[in-house]
Amino acid sequence: MKRRSILLIALTALVVVTGVAMVAYRMGSKHSRSELTALQEEMDRLLAAEKDAAIVKRVSQQMEDIAYQQKAISDQQRDRAEEQSVLATRNAARAEMESRAAREAESKANAAADVAERERANAERQQEIALEQRDEANHAKNVADTLNRRTQARSLAASSLVRREANDPEVADLLAYASWYFLKNNRGNTYYSETFKSLTEATDGIPRYKFKENSSVNAIAQVPGSPGECVAVTNYGEVEWLRASGTSGDIRITSQSLLFNSAYDFRDVTVQGGKIFALSHDGPLCELDFKGKMTAVALPDDDYFKLIPSGDRLLVAARRSLGWYAGGALSGRVSLDKPLSTVVDRNGIICLFYADGSYAEMDAAGRITEKAPLLDEVVTAAFYDKSSGCLLLGVKDGTVYPVNKYNRVIETLAAHKSRCMSITMLDPVIITGGYDKKAFIWSMDNLMFESGLNFQGELEAESVGKRVVNSKEIPTEWLVPVDYTFDGWTLSVCSDADGKSVWIGTSSGYVSLLNSSADDMAQQLNRKIKRNLTQQEWTRYVGVSIPYMTFK
C-alpha cells in the first residue's frame, strides 16, 4: 500500500511533473516561438537595417564620391576663380587704363566737338555773311538796275520830245511809251515832267479854246454825267458851254455861247440839276439853261466870289456875307464882321477862311463857330475831295497843303511862286493853278511819306510815328511835279466828268483840256503804236545795258 501510495504519489508526481513539464514546454515553446518571432523580427529589422545601412553606406559612398567630385570641382573652380581673380585684377588694371584712356579720349573728343561746333557756327556765320553779301549784292544790283532804268526812262522822254520836234512822230511815240514803261515797272515817278509831257504830246496833246474877247476865264464847272463838257465864265460877261470831241490824237474843243453881257464880271459858275448858275462880282446871280434862257436875280451890294452847291440850295459867298439861294430868291443872309478869302464845303460843314488868317465853320442852320486856324497862313484857294476825304488848302505864297479828316497837315507841296488861285483833285492826282502862269500836277501815290504810309493811309491816320526804314527796300521815286506854263494866270482848274481830265482857264482867255492820268495816256499810246523799236533803234536810244524787249 505503501508502495502503492508511493507509486501513486510517484505517478501523481510524474503526472504533475509531466503536466508541469508539458506546461513548461508549452510555455517555453510559446516563449521560444515568441522569442523566435522576436528574433526573426529583429533579424528582419536588422536585415532591413543592414540593407538600409548598406544603402546608406552606398549612398554615403556615392555622396562621398560626389563630395570628392564637388571638392575637386570646387578646387578647380577655386583655382579658376583665383585665375579669374588674377585675370580680373589684370582686367581691372587694364580697364582702369582703358577708362583713363577713354576719359582722355572723351576729353579730346569734347574738345574736338567744341572746336567742331565753333567751326560749324563759324561756317554757318560765314554762310549767313555770304548770303547777306549775296542779298546785298543782289539788292545793289537791283538798285543799280532800277536806277539805271529810271535814268534811261528820263533820257527816253527827252529823246521823245526831240524826235517829235524833228517831225519823227512814230519813233517819238515809241520812246514816250518806253519811258513810261521803265518808270512804271521800276517804281519810278510816271509823273516825271518830261515823261508826262511826252505822253501828252503822243496822245491828244492839249487841245484848247480861245474866248473871243481875250477875257479872263475866272471859273469853270464840269457838266455832271457828261464827260468832255464844261461851262466856263469870264470877267467880260461870257458864259460858254464847251465840248471836246474827236478821235484820239485829234481832240477839238467847240463852244456854244449861252450868255454874253459885258456888264457882268463873272467870278464863279456851277451846274446843278440841269441848270447853270453864274455869279457876277457885284451881282446878279444868273440862272441859265443849256439853250441860253436866262433869269437874273439881283443881289445885295457886296463883293461876290463863290458858289457852293449844298443839296437843293446854293451857298452864295461874298467877302462880307453869306446867303442861301433856292427857288429864285436869296434868303438866310448872314453878315460877317471881317472879309473872307475863300470858302469850301467840307462834307456838309462850310469852312470859312478869312483874309486875316482866322478860321470859322458854319453849319446848315447858319450858325458860325470860330475855330483854331488850320494853317498859320492866309488860305486863298480850297478844295474838298469827297472820295478821299482830303481837304486841299492853297495859300498866298503858292504852297498847297493836303489836310486829313483829323485836321492834320500831311504834306507840304511847294508849288507856285505866287498866290495859289484854284485847286482840284482826281484822286490821287492834285492839280493846282496860280498867278505864276503855271499848272502843277501832283501824283500823291509817288510821295514818300516819312511815316511809311501811303497817301490814303496818311488821310486815315490821326497821328503817325517816324518811319522805320527798310534798307533793302527800293524806294518809290519822288520828284518835282509836272508843270505846264500857260500864256496867262491859271485862274481856274476843274476836273472833268471822265475822272481823268482837267479843264484849265487862264487870264488870257484860253480854256485847255489836259489829261492828268499818265497811265491812261500810256494805255492810249499802246493802242496807237503799230510796231516795236527795232534792234538798231533800241541800241541807239536805250543802249546795251538793258536787254531788248517789245511792247506790242
Distance CA(389)–CA(461), nearest Å, equals 12
Q: Name the grid cell of 498.
A: 471822265
Which stretches of 359-487 are assigned E, i.e. beta strand? 359-362, 368-371, 379-385, 390-395, 400-403, 420-426, 429-434, 438-443, 482-485
DSSP element (H, E) containing 312: none
420 with 434: CB under 8 angstroms? yes
Predicted local confidence at residue 31, as pLDDT: 66
Name the residue among 202, 214, 193, 307 with its Cα closest to residue 248: 202
Backbone angles phi, psi at 369, to 5 degrees: -125, 125
Exposure on the CB side of residue 435, measured as CA atoms within 13 A: 12
Exposure on the CB side of residue 159, measured as CA atoms within 13 A: 22
CB-count exposure of residue 537 (10 Å: 0-12, 13-18, 19+)? middle
The dihedral sign for the CA sequence 38, 43, 46, 52:
negative
Tell me how far the alpha carbon of residue 32 is from its chain's centroid. 134
Q: Name the grid cell of 104.
A: 582722355
Predicted local confidence at residue 79, as pLDDT: 77
Collapsing DSSP to helix, strand or coil, 486 comes out as coil
Q: Which residues, 6 or more positions from 60, have their beta carbon under 8 angstroms from its beta carbon? A: none
Look up cell 526831240; give the residue. 162
pLDDT 10s digit of each residue in the chain, 552 long? 555 666 666 566 666 556 655 655 666 566 666 766 776 777 777 677 677 767 767 767 777 777 677 777 777 777 776 777 777 688 778 778 877 887 888 888 888 888 888 888 888 888 888 888 888 888 778 888 888 888 899 999 999 999 999 999 999 999 999 999 999 998 888 999 999 999 999 997 899 999 987 899 999 999 999 999 999 999 999 999 999 998 766 889 999 999 999 999 999 999 998 999 999 999 899 999 999 899 999 999 999 999 999 888 999 999 999 999 998 899 989 999 999 999 999 999 999 999 999 999 999 888 999 999 999 999 999 999 999 999 999 999 999 999 999 999 999 998 799 999 999 999 889 999 999 999 999 998 877 777 778 888 889 988 887 655 555 666 666 657 899 999 999 999 999 999 999 999 999 999 999 999 999 999 999 999 999 999 999 999 999 888 999 988
**What's the one-letter identity of residue 288?**
L
Q: Please state which of the four CATH numbers 2.30.30.280, 3.20.20.70, 1.10.238.10, 2.130.10.10 is assigned to the domain occupying 207-526.
A: 2.130.10.10
Name the residue among 427, 426, 359, 439 with its Cα closest to residue 398: 439
Domain extents for the chain? Answer: 1-42, 207-526
482-485 sheet: strands from edge to edge: 420-426, 429-434, 438-443, 482-485
The 3-class secondary structure across 320-355, one letter per residue, is: CEEEEEECCEEEEEEECCCCEEEEEEECCEEEEEEC
Query: 0.85 cut: is pTM over it?
Result: no
Distance CA(317)–CA(310), nearest Å, equals 13
Predicted local confidence at residue 475, as pLDDT: 61
